A and B are shown apart, each in its own frame.
Chain A
Amino acid sequence: DAKTTQPPSMDCAEGRAANLPCNHSTISGNEYVYWYRQIHSQGPQYIIHGLKNNETNEMASLIITEDRKSSTLILPHATLRDTAVYYCIVTRGGSEKLVFGKGTKLTVNP
């Protein structure tokens, strides 16, 4: 079973920031928080990951709470192409399998 809880769907206006929450209250100290997204019928696309500190890359920012029990993925300026299912996954890495839940269906509206 997935170790994370995400809202099933969210909407966002084009050009605005999309903030996608994830709860992972049972996360272990050596587990990372990963975010992937999947556009319809394509392979999942890696977005970002973090352990304790907040992270930023060219796609998104990841904010992890101090107790590490939740996190938020931020797409700073959402576009129509960001419409996808976003998955928050907790994993130790090291070729451990990724357990995908149902994710959040983000719809970016014009």
Chain B
Amino acid sequence: ETGVTQTPRHLVMGMTNKKSLKCEQHLGHNAMYWYKQSAKKPLELMFVYNFKEQTENNSVPSRFSPECPNSSHLFLHLHTLQPEDSALYLCASSQGPSGGSGDTQYFGPGTRLTVL
């Protein structure tokens, strides 16, 4: 238990569906992240939020739309996805820019997404 929860843990959706992934952190952190891990590939950063503001978008297609209503919650809205978007989507949180002694990111368990 890392203090970062993600729901749902598994999701199957069609290419025309709209769904959302939710992440919540109970660590009092100020930074939140979305990562994607495709089969047999390293984790790739998608988005970074610091104090609710998006500070990094790693050239992610617009069919992925993040939302950060407050420092504890992060969403990833999905629409018109492709089968190649099937992957493990991981949320992480950290203290953020003010973190000292490094800034450890703590990961949630992930959402396994399958796009049919």
Contact = CB atoms under 8 A, between A and B. Distances in A.
Interface size bracket, A side: 20 to 34
Contacts of B62: none
Contacts of A51: 101-102
Contact of B33 (A2, A36, A97): A97
Interface string B92-116: 1010111101111111111010000
A44 interface: yes
Nearest to A50: B102
A98 B43 contact: yes
Contact of B43 (A41, A42, A44, A45): A44
Interface residues of B, number: 32
B2 A43 contact: yes
B45 interface: yes
Interface stretch (A14-22, A64-72, A74-82, A87-95): A87-95
A36 B6 CA distance: 19
A49 to B, nearest CB: 5
A51 B31 CA distance: 22
A94 B43 CA distance: 19
A46 B106 contact: yes
Contacts of B98: 94
Interface of B: 2, 4, 6, 31, 33, 42-43, 45, 48, 50, 55-56, 58, 88, 90, 92, 94, 96-99, 101-110, 112
Given A93-B101, A94-B103, 20 more contacts: A43-B6, A43-B108, A43-B110, A44-B107, A45-B107, A46-B104, A46-B107, A49-B102, A51-B102, A91-B102, A93-B94, A95-B48, A95-B50, A95-B55, A95-B96, A95-B97, A97-B56, A98-B45, A100-B42, A100-B43
Interface of A: 2, 32, 34, 36, 41-46, 49, 51, 91, 93-102
